[in-house]
């Protein structure tokens, strides 16, 4: 089944304790991204990656790191989490640049979300 998976789905941690949220897709997608979703603020992009070893900042990158060493994986790293990073996080992927613009190539498939609480 084509899907984007995230782990863990729920995480409660304390300020300053490094954590990693994993994201994996099995669709051979080039483009992957991380979003956070907060009440009243909607979905905001944290980082995105056009392909392996190619990452770039989104709208709210402060306090986050990412890496893209393999095409299928795009982990989100919080080196020193703080309470303002309490949020619902989504990973997404899309086919990327292959082919012309269109629904098939531009659709972003979202993972199920990771609810993070930083105390």
Partner 1 sequence: QKEVEQDPGPLSVPEGAIVSLNCTYSNSAFQYFMWYRQYSRKGPELLMYTYSSGNKEDGRFTAQVDKSSKYISLFIRDSQPSDSATYLCAMSPRRNTPLVFGKGTRLSVIA
Long-range contacts of 24-27 (CB under 8 A, 24+ apart): 24/72, 24/73, 24/74, 25/72, 25/74, 25/91, 25/93, 25/109, 26/2, 26/72, 27/2, 27/3, 27/93, 27/95, 27/109
Is 53 among the residues that bind partner 1 (CB under 8 A)?
no
- Answer for which of 11, 27, 50, 52 binds partner 1 (CB under 8 A) is 50
Pick the closer one to partner 1 by CB: 58 or 63: 58
> For residues 93-112, which are near partner 1 according to CB under 8 A?
94, 96-97, 101-103, 105-112
Q: How far is the CB of 75 from partner 1 (least distance, A)?
A: 17
Pick the closer one to partner 1 by CB: 81 or 111: 111
Is 41 among the residues that bind partner 1 (CB under 8 A)?
yes
> What separation in angstroms does the CA of 45 have from each of 1, 13, 36, 112?
26, 22, 7, 16
Q: How far is the CB of 70 from partner 1 (least distance, A)?
A: 19
CA neighbor of 89 nearest in space, from 2, 13, 1? 13
**Residues near partner 1, by CB under 8 A:** 4, 31, 33, 40-45, 48, 50, 58-59, 90, 92, 94, 96-97, 101-103, 105-113
């Amino acid at each position: 089944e084509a899907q984007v998976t995230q782990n863990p789905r729920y995480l409660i941690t304390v300020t300053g304790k490094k954590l990693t949220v994993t994201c994996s897709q099995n669709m051979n997608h080039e483009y992957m991204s991380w979003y956070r979703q907060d009440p009243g603020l909607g979905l905001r992009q944290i980082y995105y990656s056009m392909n392996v070893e190619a990452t770039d900042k989104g709208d709210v990158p402060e306090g986050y790191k990412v890496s893209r060493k393999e095409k299928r994986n795009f982990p989100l790293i919080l080196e020193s989490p703080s309470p303002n990073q309490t949020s619902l996080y989504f990973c997404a992927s899309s086919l990327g640049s292959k082919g012309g613009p269109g629904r098939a190539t531009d659709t972003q498939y979202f993972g199920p979300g990771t609810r993070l609480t930083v105390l």
